[in-house]
Structure 1
Amino acid sequence: MDYQEEIKFVCLCERIGEPLYLSPRGHGATKYLYNLPADHLQPYETQAMVELRKLIPSTTSIVEVPVYKPSVPYDLTAIQKAVPRDTFFSEMEEGHLRAADELIRILLSQPTRTDFFNACALCRDQVNPHLWVHSFIKSALKRPDMRGFRLPSVLEIMPDLFIEARPWKEAIKQATLPSRERAIIVINKDFTGTNLDPNHKVAYFMEDLGGNSHHYHWHVVNSFMAPKGSVDRKGEIFYYMHHGMLARYDSERLANGLNRVVPFDIHKDLIEEACFPKLTLQNASLNFSSRQENSILRDFNRTREPGSNLNFLTIADIRAWCDRIIEAIDAGFAIQEGGGRVDLRTEKGIDIVTNMWESNSDTPHRKYYGMPHNYGHSAFGFCHDPDYRYKSGPGVMFLPATSMRDAAFWRWHKYLDLISKRQKDYLPLYTQDNLQWTGIAVNEIHVVRGDDIRLPVALEPVNNLVTHWMQSDIELSRGLDFGRTNLNGLDSVWVRATHLQHLPFIYRIRVVPPGEHIIIQKSENSTLTVPWAQTFREIERDVQSLTRTQAMCSCGWPDHLLLPRGRVDGMPFDLFVMLTNTQIDQVASSRRQLGTLTPKGTCRDSISYCGMIDDKFPDSRPMGYPFDRPAVSDEHSKPDMFLEDFVTPTSNMGSAVVKIFHVDKTLLRGNGAPEVLRKLQVTP
């Protein structure tokens, strides 16, 4: 895909709540105007389009982008009815996802990329904006003719899901000023509360922009409504990714003097934690609702709400579903719809069990095992107004893009995580035959920190890692939808957010025999992480990248959260290394082999957490291996309780103690807002 083709799609993602005909798109030297067919617009819109274009200075470089009717006709009536344009859209609600899937079907049915573009452009202003973004991302990832398309940061496309109301309101004010007089809106590092709430100590993690955008992207790529059998190891990767998130959350809690997260008890109604998100949904003009401490989970029925498909459901239903899944685990089989049993006493049992509580298309019996995960989120998200009598908006638990902000999210997922762990506990323990790679030995393990003279660090660089704060700039004007029609008003509006970051480091592992090898890997090449998201501006400037053949899905844990915060005096962690045999691990793939993988492949920014679009997960081992279940040295031994006992008998394993030090200093990422602009401090 060449630049001119790509930029037409990129600019569709600007100001998604604002009609496409209203004003030029793009911030580069060239602006893009979309010419929509007359029969697609109302008469007043056609006249407005003509009049508004008279306001564009004659010296402006304009590229007019014609939009035609696509070859394959479509009907959006059912989509518009299911999710009105001026309400919320959630990947947690089945009716919403059915509507999104219908739009995806329409977009994928277009025979050529030109038809696909025309359908995207014409559907854009006729459906819910957030539903359109979901469907556009998913269909672009699946179309072979869209390989090479770079998606701009979701933080810039839908900033209202990530930026709190006060900075957002200030951004709208700044947009009315001349470009050179605008300020950089600096969000106070104290985030959205105070340490009177113990959970506020980890607010920097729960509210992290990259973490929340990862959770959004993951649920787009791994929709629970994906057709049966279409996603390899779907349940297992759900369990593994969320299990990893929980481990990171616990690391942050321990670093801040808090205990590990306590699982929520679905058999009790009490939600001890409060949540005051301070977010506003722009297209619906709805505030995300708050929740007081010690709120009660209640039966809910939101059918009166426009666009809601949440019928009457009792908390007793959710409890019964969870109890049935636990009963199936203990019995060793699940009941299949239509009769029969599904064996759970296999390595694939984890996939089946997690399918059951996520209630995706691969669950053996949705009616019997229900939808605990999604309806659990709904119960938390609507406990403040379960029957819509006050016409209030949802809580943040109802949307994947926002749910990480709520302390209840982590407690609910810890409960679900323990259900899956219960399944793992029934599997045989690992023995040396499952672990040993004879003839291979891990001889030495080091991590070597890169130096940074801007930080006051005087630590030995080996096995001492450092975290600090970093400020990164987000360009909000691409997501400000309030009908600005002059070119000055469309210029940049900057928000500066503070987040955790670490100094880069390398892994250095000495392996013997045969011969002696030193494995060196940079921290930024982790299979878990993706870099800071690509911006509209970076894509506009990169006009020479004309030979891109691989797509980026932006699904992956953020690189700046690769390390836990650690402590000022150093927090010790065990670094575990294991070498395994590729000939055993590798999965035969219809598209590629492990040896041919490049750093940026098809939706493979984070293979470990996100898998591979339309392909098999490239590792045959259980996700989490070898820590997904205990191990024994031999049949007469007790399960290993300490890492040293686990590692010592197995030559292809090794471990080292690494300390993470936190330096309370803030650095600026750069490549963002011009530093000559004044700074305006805003507390959410």
Structure 2
Amino acid sequence: TQFIVFFFVKLAYFFRKMPNLDSVSCACPKTVDLELNKEILKVFIKDVEYKYKNLVPAHQVSLPRFTVFDERQMRAVHAEAERLAALDCSELIAELSDLKNWHPDSGYVDYLARIALFKHKDTRNLTLPPASQTIPSSFFDMDKVQRKGKLLLGAAKGQGMATVVKIEVDPEQNLNWWREDPGLAEHHYNWHVYYPSTEPEKDRQGELFAYMHEQMLARYNAERLGVGLPPVVPFGPGIGWDGILTEGYNPNLEKCSFRPAAMSVPESTSIGSRIIVPSIMKTNTERLAIAIARNYLEDPKGNKVELTMDKLGCTMEANMGSVNKKMYGNIHNDGHVLLSLINDPKNAYNIKAGPMYHTNTAPKDPVFYRWHKFVDTIFDDLRSNLTPHKVEDLTMEGIEVKSVWIEDLTEVDSPPNRFCQDVLTNRLYTWMAPEAQTVFPDQGEVTITNTRMHHETFTHNIKVKNTLMEDATLVFRVFLAPAKSDDNLETRRKDFIELDRFVDVIEGGTERIVSRRSDESSVLVPPAGTVQQILNGEITDQQAPCGCGWPRNLLIPRGTVAGMRADLYVLVTNWKEDAASSSSQLSGSVSYCGKIDQLYPDKRPMGFPFDRAMGFDTLEDMVRAVPNSCSREVEIVFKGLKE
């Protein structure tokens, strides 16, 4: 197969002495170096004048149709990354840049480069350029734009016009603007880069896998409510797979096929030599249901393993923390592969895989959310078995949250961009606007224009009273959920979107207002280090190398023209008790992405306090019983398309 050929060619190359390449100059410092950060751009951007003087046979081999959802492929690419990471820094860059120039649009090469650079001791802390800039054909419809010299004019598919002119033929297209946002694709792609399934699992990786995708669903359902669509319905073995997949989808991407509406799930499909059978996946799901009912999993030796959200998440994703792959299978990854190959399950017609095959295209497809809703029903079975939170689990003696409100900051930050000059608290404005982005396809540097959602900058303002005689180090947990006519807290629990989580100190015997800017949120990806910034040496410590985190323009739901009502909720707890260690910090995009090679900083269950049932009928009852919490109704107003 292609992988076997590729492996032996690379093995032969390993024993070949690397040429002394005058095109690469790398000092390999032990600390982050802006010049070295510039040097690695050769790994991600094709040189249009490249002469292939570093040519080796390995680069002529056709690369596999790569997906992170196939364990065999993942083991091969990570083994290759280990080999590259052991090279001298200059050799690493030379090999990867050769691969990029031979295969400029390869998702395999981009993934391999990111893994290898992260593993190498001299490059692991460097800022890597966004994948939307380096492999733009995986993010944008490059065929629909008009070229003029080196300037690419026009807009990629998914402009968001569906939010201005409603689409009736296929209502799901009214959310193309959200699903096709490049920042959303970047987040999902980078999360799976830094939480691979074939390496030793990181701290609470399984739980984070469950929580991050649960939050994607909560945010997507809020957007569906805003355009008048019902919540996502699960689609998986035993729940929908016996019928048809009503949603079709055309990503208009070179690397993906489209899927017509009303397709049926095949009886089987194959990837390489492995066969994926839905009936076996259903059996594995039933085994997990039995395990949840018994509150334990069985390892390969028949030993009982206590069931936790982390163990269940690892087993569902079938990463190296899986308790028993033979018994419980590879449910999550196999679902992605099977749904992506629904057009050509036997590979009889050489049809390209659908969006579900790739982590940077999967979130574009409506079936991604239906599949993950199915996956989440399994996690929900466990959540429903967890002991409900008691009042004492939530309260903190001596701390009272007097009030919470939101204040718009845009009038201060950028007056010309405001829609409304009145200063209103508890009202947020969103709008859509064209946004230019420079990308680097194989033909050279070009600029595209894509219409994206935006919101005005705001602050959470929380008035806190500390009646204790000593200072209190507190963690502020901020959530938002669309208001509903049914205020039953148990039915609304999964609607709560995490907006922020941060730490502050309130002096003993004082009362003060704690303010936190929305652009400082713990769920947001730090400002991206673009190719241009790397070239200009403008990289700062605030730009995380991993690129994982929620898109900064999608922090809050779009809302409606008339104004969507939502409940803002904040719970304040003791950080000295909740911190995983004395050095734990809630900095960066920690909520959905954790800390690379560190403990997840918050010991509480992810999503706390909405991670399980609580003994309250309504949110108001909860606030009344927990004085260190507070809620406020806010309004989100969508102002339409802004030119």
With normalisation by structure 1, the TM-score equals: 0.77
| Residues 1:333 and 2:274 aligned together | no
- Change beyond 3 A, Cα 1:418–1:332: same
Q: Which residue of 2 aligns with 1:129?
A: 106
Q: Which residue of 2 aligns with 1:23?
A: 49
1:99 deviates by: 1.7
Looking at structure 2, the residues matched to 531 and 501 of structure 1 have their Cα atoms a distance apart, in angstroms, of 16
Contact 1:531 1:558 in 2 (8 A): no
- Change beyond 3 A, Cα 1:88–1:265: closer
Q: Which residue of 2 aligns with 1:217?
A: 190
Task: Point out the more displaced range, 459-468 or 549-558.
Answer: 549-558
Q: Which residue of 1 aligns with 2:217?
A: 246
Q: Deviations over 1:193-223 (max 9, x none)?
A: 9431111111111111111111111111111
Q: Which residue of 2 aligns with 1:437?
A: 396
Q: Which residue of 2 aligns with 1:641?
A: 617
Q: Which residue of 1 aligns with 2:600?
A: 617
Q: Which residue of 1 aligns with 2:321?
A: 362
Q: 1:204 aligns with which of 177, 196, 202?
A: 177
- Which secondary structure does the structure 1 equivalent of 2:611 belong to? coil
Q: Which residue of 2 aligns with 1:499?
A: 452
Looking at structure 1, the residues matched to 253 and 91 of structure 2 have their Cα atoms a distance apart, in angstroms, of 36
- Which secondary structure does the structure 1 equivalent of 2:599 belong to? coil
Contact 1:226 1:361 in 2 (8 A): yes
Contact 1:148 1:550 in 2 (8 A): no
Q: Which residue of 1 aligns with 2:360?
A: 401
Looking at structure 1, the residues matched to 464 and 569 of structure 2 have their Cα atoms a distance apart, in angstroms, of 14
Contact 1:291 1:384 in 2 (8 A): yes
Q: Deviations over 1:199-252 (max 9, x none)?
A: 11111111111111111111111111122xx40001100000000000000000
- Change beyond 3 A, Cα 1:109–1:123: farther
- Change beyond 3 A, Cα 1:571–1:538: same
- Mapping 1:562-641, distance limit 5 Å: 562-588=555-581, 593-594=583-584, 605-631=588-614, 639-641=615-617
Looking at structure 1, the residues matched to 375 and 131 of structure 2 have their Cα atoms a distance apart, in angstroms, of 28
Looking at structure 1, the residues matched to 75 and 152 of structure 2 have their Cα atoms a distance apart, in angstroms, of 42
- Change beyond 3 A, Cα 1:524–1:500: same
Q: Which residue of 1 aligns with 2:263?
A: 295
Looking at structure 2, the residues matched to 619 and 461 of structure 1 have their Cα atoms a distance apart, in angstroms, of 34
Looking at structure 2, the residues matched to 123 and 496 of structure 1 have their Cα atoms a distance apart, in angstroms, of 29
Q: Which residue of 1 aligns with 2:420?
A: 457
Looking at structure 2, the residues matched to 298 and 212 of structure 1 have their Cα atoms a distance apart, in angstroms, of 27
How many aligned residue pairs are there?
558
| Residues 1:665 and 2:635 aligned together | no
Q: Which residue of 1 aligns with 2:10?
A: none
- Change beyond 3 A, Cα 1:94–1:264: same
- Which secondary structure does the structure 1 equivalent of 2:417 belong to? coil
Q: What stretches of structure 1 of length at least 5 have no aligned partner?
A: 25-33, 43-75, 282-287, 303-307, 483-489, 600-604, 632-638, 668-684
Contact 1:235 1:350 in 2 (8 A): yes
Letter in 1 for 2:547: S
- Which secondary structure does the structure 2 equivalent of 1:145 belong to? coil
Contact 1:155 1:474 in 2 (8 A): no
- Change beyond 3 A, Cα 1:577–1:549: closer
Contact 1:289 1:392 in 2 (8 A): yes
1:622 deviates by: 0.4
Contact 1:510 1:518 in 2 (8 A): yes
Q: 1:160 aligns with which of 137, 145, 159?
A: 137
Looking at structure 1, the residues matched to 316 and 43 of structure 2 have their Cα atoms a distance apart, in angstroms, of 36
Looking at structure 2, the residues matched to 550 and 211 of structure 1 have their Cα atoms a distance apart, in angstroms, of 17
- Mapping 1:179-328, distance limit 5 Å: 179=150, 182=151, 184-187=153-156, 189=159, 194-227=167-200, 230-267=201-238, 268-269=241-242, 270-281=244-255, 288-302=256-270, 308-309=271-272, 311-328=274-291
- Which secondary structure does the structure 2 equivalent of 1:357 belong to? helix
- Change beyond 3 A, Cα 1:100–1:318: same
- Which secondary structure does the structure 2 equivalent of 1:415 belong to? helix
Q: Deviations over 1:421-445 (max 9, x none)?
A: 1101111111122111100011121
Looking at structure 2, the residues matched to 523 and 574 of structure 1 have their Cα atoms a distance apart, in angstroms, of 16
Contact 1:445 1:509 in 2 (8 A): yes
Q: Deviations over 1:378-427 (max 9, x none)?
A: 11111111101111010111111111111111111011111101101111
Q: Percent identity?
A: 28
1:534 deviates by: 3.0
Looking at structure 1, the residues matched to 252 and 543 of structure 2 have their Cα atoms a distance apart, in angstroms, of 38
- Mapping 1:36-75, distance limit 5 Å: 36-37=53-54, 40-41=55-56
- Change beyond 3 A, Cα 1:550–1:566: closer
Q: 1:387 aligns with which of 340, 346, 357?
A: 346
- Change beyond 3 A, Cα 1:211–1:548: closer
1:649 deviates by: 1.1
Task: Point out the more displaced range, 84-93 or 349-358.
Answer: 84-93
| Residues 1:467 and 2:436 aligned together | no
Letter in 2 for 1:271: L
| Residues 1:10 and 2:41 aligned together | yes
Q: Deviations over 1:432-471 (max 9, x none)?
A: 2211110001112111012244343255421101101122
Looking at structure 2, the residues matched to 123 and 389 of structure 1 have their Cα atoms a distance apart, in angstroms, of 29
- Change beyond 3 A, Cα 1:237–1:430: same
Task: Point out the more displaced range, 137-146 or 607-616.
Answer: 137-146
- Which secondary structure does the structure 1 equivalent of 2:109 belong to? helix
| Residues 1:140 and 2:117 aligned together | yes
Q: Deviations over 1:85-135 (max 9, x none)?
A: 35532111222211211122112223x534543453455567893222212
Letter in 2 for 1:564: P
Looking at structure 1, the residues matched to 152 and 203 of structure 2 have their Cα atoms a distance apart, in angstroms, of 48
Contact 2:127 2:543 in 1 (8 A): no
Q: Which residue of 1 aligns with 2:494?
A: none
Q: Deviations over 1:628-659 (max 9, x none)?
A: 1122xxxxxxx212111112111111111111
Q: What stretches of structure 2 of length at least 5 have no aligned partner?
A: 1-31, 467-508
Q: Which residue of 1 aligns with 2:504?
A: none
Letter in 1 for 2:192: H
- Change beyond 3 A, Cα 1:191–1:370: farther
- Which secondary structure does the structure 2 equivalent of 1:186 belong to? coil
Looking at structure 2, the residues matched to 342 and 166 of structure 1 have their Cα atoms a distance apart, in angstroms, of 52
Give the number of the structure with larger relative contact order, counting CA–CA contacts within 8 Å between residues 6 or more apart. 1
Q: Which residue of 2 aligns with 1:58?
A: none
Name the Cα RMSD after superposition: 2.5
Letter in 1 for 2:117: A
Contact 2:460 2:518 in 1 (8 A): yes
- Change beyond 3 A, Cα 1:23–1:126: closer
- Change beyond 3 A, Cα 1:41–1:13: same
Q: 1:529 aligns with which of 524, 546, 569?
A: 524
Q: 1:554 aligns with which of 547, 550, 559?
A: 547
Looking at structure 1, the residues matched to 102 and 641 of structure 2 have their Cα atoms a distance apart, in angstroms, of 47
1:542 deviates by: 2.8
With normalisation by structure 2, the TM-score equals: 0.82
